[in-house]
Chains A and B, each alone.
Chain A
């Protein structure tokens, strides 16, 4: 299960992830001028990302795409403004279409591209990442979400039949068979919770591949997050700069941002619990007291055991200002 069909009320971590992304864009592109940008992403049937980008940043030039014509029709129905375009397109065809897409929005110079994958078709996804990266230009922002659920590499006792030393080794072998050229050669085992870091390193190798093809381009990780609502996901966002450009992108002051990534594997783990409004209010009262006091204030465990609850509250404390407040409209 990738999480794409879970109602948003039950996906606070994906919501937080998206809100941090909006915060990131505010810092990255607002100083450069939002009028230069086109936002391109798959979008999903309700175009939730497109709404968030429009509502918070005011970017009207948007494009969503999907392979299924019915989904595209639904996207068209839901688009935030008349300026948004929804087209039938496969992610494999996106790289070759980036220039055509920009031409559809006269006067725009840059793109924010989000490849929001949910499945574990990693080989084609990494190839698409490289093909997209090499077509980007100075000032662009690239974001990719990958399925980091370890079950996609080893379900149950599969490793025993394959003669592997254990599930961790089997996962590494299977991932190598999928994406050998993007997998660091020193990855010989992948622990139960190790897949996000391994995939982040693989994204770095994909980026280096792109830099080898386009020697003038530099890709800098600016935000790396991992969250789990249904399946664990990894999202890597990087900026694109050209060594021949005078402008420093991202700007020097960007590193002062709380969540600014210090490297490809500097992962912000988002694991906030699902909370009612009342629970949220109680926690907000004690938000600066540390996870132990927050847990005491609740009087129950919001996750499966004490350790998991403390971790969840630590995460809530770190990201609480992005936490969603979904309520019934009649409340």
Chain B
């Protein structure tokens, strides 16, 4: 609406309620919105732990978030300290007013939108209760406030009797209709648990507990084949760590399964037998931001790294960013997307590509000799890549120009080169293969690969006579 003000006109340039309560919510999936709420719980615990995070192995022990969801309602309760008095005003603003908040803390929330956006996405009304050491209160989002047409922005806040256990509870007593259907669906609940176990797996390793409808979620973390001695030739991950502009970076790339046989590659073209775990994951301040990527984003198909192909299905790894200055993390507002152009990300990606190069090269060299390669895998054991692999720190070589960077090349075993294996591959019509099978084995149903191999072996024997 135009308005005359002294000599020149102005128009209202502020936000509308509709933008927040019904537009912004479309930028995020339902599961991701819930993960945002858990992120807030974790950030609360991180604030409580100030100073103890780096020194303890499981600093988050005792901290937890409990989620209860059904077709009727949703609530999340944590014991992560609550919202202190001085933070109340900012906590309910739509957007963060100043960047200094959480200075020197490895939190992930930095835009001040996660909790509100999740509430807007899920409910028709909601109550936020906080019990902090300096006071307890509740804030209500009622149906009228959440109306897109309503331009009233004030929220009602009321004091509460404080409790011994300090934390925040968000209760959504009435769900939106489409959300109710999903929350009531057992498949959605199961999938949510799987997402939580992947997304917060590394955090749970550090002691944080998450419960969904009374079931404790188990962490899912990357396990890689690792041989004991870092000096001998053996299967072990490439490992790199550095500090770049206040961000600690760890890159680990290796094998989570044995090499894929060509028959499996052929099968995979038609149907997959296992959930794909290959690829590179990106973790920012303990949260999974990108899962099992097999694209240019993490360096596949760039430079000397080949494009992802099912033969590389055994290769997996991660890039981990940790910092006390969350605005330096390469993530977008949804916290589930990477900012792939960020300098710190491009720096880490370079080393991820080195790891990928070593592993793809190893796969190519052993192509057709997967059984022989398996013998090397048999000598290694699967270990938790995050907590039990620390080759770069212990045995890594320094990187020129970066004092705080160390790299450990995997030095994977190479096959005997004097008489290398060569792969023979060709196709023939089915009736021809059946005829030859009948001729060689007395039955027509042998596998084409067996028939082809027998042909070659007989011809070889004849040639050496």
Contact = CB atoms under 8 A, between A and B. Distances in A.
A204 B277 CA distance: 24
A71 interface: no
B187 A121 contact: no
Contact of B273 (A121, A185, A186): A121
Contacts, number: 59
B188 A124 contact: no
A211 interface: yes
A186 to B, nearest CB: 6
Interface string A191-222: 00000000000001110110110010000000
Interface in B174-188: 181-182, 185-188
A180 B273 contact: no
B149 interface: no
Given A123-B271, A124-B273, A185-B217, A180 B188 contact: no
Most chain A CB atoms below 10 A, which of B186, B187, B215, B272: B187
Contacts of A211: 185, 187
A178 B275 contact: yes
A177 B218 CA distance: 15
Given A185-B190, A208-B186, A178 B274 contact: yes
B275 A123 contact: yes
A209 B270 CA distance: 22
B61 interface: no
A178 B277 CA distance: 11
Contacts of A124: 271-273
Given A177-B274, A211-B185, A215-B181, A163 B382 contact: yes
B302 interface: no
A181 B191 contact: yes
B304 interface: no
Contact of B197 (A163, A185, A208): A185
Contacts of B271: 92, 121, 123-124
A184 interface: yes
Contact of A212 (B187, B194, B197, B274): B187
Nearest to A120: B273
Contacts of B215: 185-186
B182 A212 contact: yes
B407 interface: no
Nearest to A181: B191
Chain A's interface size range is: 20 to 34
B150 interface: no
Contact of A208 (B185, B193, B273, B274): B185
Most chain A CB atoms below 10 A, which of B186, B188, B270: B186
Nearest to A186: B215
B275 A205 contact: no
A163 B182 CA distance: 37
Interface in B353-406: 381-382
Given A185-B197, A185-B215, A185-B217, A163 B275 contact: no
Nearest to A215: B181
Chain B's interface size range is: 20 to 34
A186 B213 CA distance: 11
Contacts of B218: 185, 188
A170 B193 CA distance: 20
A204 B194 CA distance: 17
Nearest to B198: A180
Contacts of A122: 273
A181 B275 contact: yes
B38 to A, nearest CB: 16
A42 to B, nearest CB: 16
A204 B187 CA distance: 8
B42 to A, nearest CB: 20
A215 B188 CA distance: 13
B237 to A, nearest CB: 17
Given A121-B273, A180-B275, A181-B275, A205 B186 contact: yes
A189 to B, nearest CB: 13
Nearest to A69: B430
A205 B274 contact: no
A205 B273 contact: no
A126 B292 CA distance: 22
A179 B194 CA distance: 12
Interface in B329-348: none
B269 to A, nearest CB: 12
A234 B370 CA distance: 35
Nearest to B181: A215
Given A163-B382, A208-B187, A209-B187, A185 B193 contact: yes
A323 B181 CA distance: 44
A185 B198 CA distance: 12
Given A185-B197, A215-B181, A177 B190 contact: no
B273 A178 contact: yes
Interface string A274-287: 00000000000000
Interface in B154-202: 181-182, 185-188, 190-191, 193-194, 197
A185 B191 CA distance: 9
Contacts of B193: 185
B273 A123 contact: yes
B188 A181 contact: no
A205 B274 CA distance: 17
Contacts of B274: 123, 177-178
Contacts of A215: 181
A185 B186 contact: no
A177 B187 contact: no
Interface in A21-69: none
Contacts of B182: 212
Contacts of A209: 187
Given A123-B274, A163-B381, A177-B274, A205 B187 contact: yes
Most chain B CB atoms below 10 A, which of A179, A184, A206: A184
A220 to B, nearest CB: 14
Interface string B36-68: 000000000000000000000000000000000
Contacts of B273: 121-124, 178
A246 to B, nearest CB: 22
Interface in B212-252: 215, 217-218
Interface string B13-42: 000000000000000000000000000000
Contacts of B181: 212, 215
A240 B400 CA distance: 66
Nearest to B215: A186
A181 B185 contact: no
Nearest to B197: A185
Nearest to B193: A185
Interface of A: 92, 121-124, 162-163, 177-181, 183-186, 188, 204-206, 208-209, 211-212, 215
Given A181-B275, A212-B187, 5 more contacts: A122-B273, A162-B382, A163-B381, A177-B277, A185-B193
24 contacts: A122-B273, A123-B271, A123-B272, A123-B273, A123-B275, A124-B271, A124-B272, A177-B275, A180-B275, A181-B190, A181-B194, A183-B190, A185-B190, A185-B197, A185-B217, A185-B218, A186-B215, A205-B186, A205-B187, A206-B187, A211-B185, A212-B182, A212-B188, A215-B181
